[in-house]
Amino acid sequence: MTTATPVRGPAREKAVAPAGPRRWTRWWPAVVLLVLIAVPYSALPLPGLLDGPIGSAGSLQLLALCLVFGALATGYDLLLGRTGLLSFGHALYFAAGSYLTDIFMAEFGLPFVPSVLLGLLSGTALAALLGSVSLRVSGIAFSMVTLAFAQAGSLLVERDPGGVTGGEEGRAIPADKLPASLAGIGNTANLYWIALAYLVLTLVVVHWAVRSPTGRVWEGIKENERRVEVLGLRPYGFKLTAFVLAGALAAAGGVVHLLLTGGATPQTTTSDFTLSLLVMVVLGGSGSRWGPLIGGVVYTWADQRLGDLAGSGTVAGLPSVLRVPLSQPLFLLGTLFVVVVYVLPGGVVRLPERLRTARVRTARAPAA
């Protein structure tokens, strides 16, 4: 009987060496977070990507919006990518957090912090109420019910009952109710850090939820809901949990968006807004950890920057056959989306994997 001889010396070091890089790769999110925290202190210019230095007020505003919508898309993916629920009414809970926080401050005269807490609780309660009704049906019927609720909410905001929603003009945030550290252009860095904190919170909550036993049931519901029922579990309760959690994260995003833009706007109540979230998720990669975040950031940046490009003198000087379509930001966004879907099925997050596959095939080609 022979015994295995332990590996010593250089051979053992070579065998253990790969663990080092793997250990370091686990810390890259922390490195990225530290870089994002330090962004307001940077004066580095990024021509073409931003209008001014990274730490300028305009650049921080755009970056903060990218972080907010990246987080919002990540929360929405709890429904679409994790549980297989296609909701067309997710914008309603985002708008609820924004509008109700503003209303509690302006109409009821409540201080900032209680108004924020009540806005979050109200948005979460609305998600629980409408989710409990919507999830009584499934498939296309579920999508249509959520769309109906979203349309009803949008109509309610536009009709401005009692003068509390501001109608088509929206509502401006009462500046006298805000802390001094959040008012004015000079405090844009503080708003950026709040947006970053919201992103980190969303990523942590989603990661924890997906890795939990409930998250594994969500995956089972997405793959085969009937099989989950056969195992003795009730899918309704698990789906409602995902719906309420996603709604609560959306309401929190609405509060942050209220602070960033200085008011609540009716555009955030429409089903088109939810469709934008759907595009963000698909663009980045549905059901992945970082895909929705990447899609939300890329879509928001492109939406802002392509609008500037469409109105630039460069486009204005082109022949009409090019000028007319290129002057429409939605045309540019749609073209970008179609290209990504065809070239990168599975989203932008799959790009590194596809590059590695292509590199391996190239390396093996001469040997064949």
Cβ-proximal residues to 48 (8 Å cutoff; 6+ apart), any chain: none
Whole-number Å distance between alpha carbons of 263 and 250:
16
User: Among 94-98, 219-223, 334-338, whose mean pLDDT is lowest?
Assistant: 334-338
Whether 9 shows a pLDDT value over 50: the answer reads no
Average pLDDT, the chain: 87
Q: What is the spatial distance between Cα 275 and Cα 333, in angstroms, rounded to a whole number?
A: 13
pLDDT on residue 21: 52
Per the CB < 8 A criterion, the answer to whether 240 and 128 are in contact is yes
CA 245 to CA 93: how far, in whole Å?
Answer: 11
pLDDT level of residue 360 (50, 70, 90 thresholds) = confident
Average of per-residue pLDDT across 179-205: 94
User: Mean pLDDT, to the nearest integer, of 197-201?
Assistant: 97
For residue 157, pLDDT over 60 is answered with yes
Flag whether pLDDT at 338 surpasses 80.
yes
53-364, what's its fold? ABC transporter involved in vitamin B12 uptake, BtuC (1.10.3470)
> Tens digit of pLDDT for each residue in 207-243?
999 999 999 999 999 999 999 999 899 999 999 999 9
Provide the percentage of residues in the chain whose pLDDT is more than 90. Answer: 62
292-333 pLDDT, tens digit each: 999 999 999 988 887 776 666 666 777 777 677 767 767 777
Q: Which helix (H) or strand (E) holds 171?
A: strand 171-172
Task: Name the residue ranges covered by the structural domains of the chain.
Answer: 53-364
Which pLDDT does position 25 carry in this prediction? 65
Query: Above 50 in pLDDT, residue 1?
Result: no
Residues 6+ apart with CB under 8 A from 196: 36, 37, 64, 67
Separation between Cα atoms, residue 239 and residue 82, nearest integer Å: 10
Residue 366 confidence (pLDDT) = 61
Whether the pLDDT of residue 80 is over 70: the answer is yes
Residue 172's beta-bridge partner residues?
263
**What is the arithmetic mean of pLDDT over 19-45?**
81
SS3 state of residue 270: coil
- Whether the per-residue pLDDT at 138 is higher than 50: the answer is yes
Query: Does the pLDDT value for residue 182 go beyond 70?
Result: yes
Q: Could you tell me if 101 and 257 are in contact, meaning their C-beta atoms sit under 8 angstroms apart? A: no
d(CA 267, CA 262): 14
Distance CA 82, CA 135 (A): 16
pLDDT on residue 22: 59
Q: What is the pLDDT of residues 56-69, one digit of tens each?
A: 999 999 999 999 99
Token output for 365: 């080609």
Residue 7 has pLDDT above 70, yes or no: no
Place of tokens 């898309």: 73
Q: What is the dihedral of CA 325, 328, 331, 337, to 10 degrees?
A: 140
The 10s digit of each residue's pLDDT in 264-293 is 999 888 878 888 999 999 999 999 989 999
Report pLDDT for 134.
96
Looking at residue 186, what is its pLDDT?
87
Confidence of residue 136 (pLDDT cuts 50, 70, 90): very high
pLDDT range class, residue 12, cuts 50, 70, 90: very low
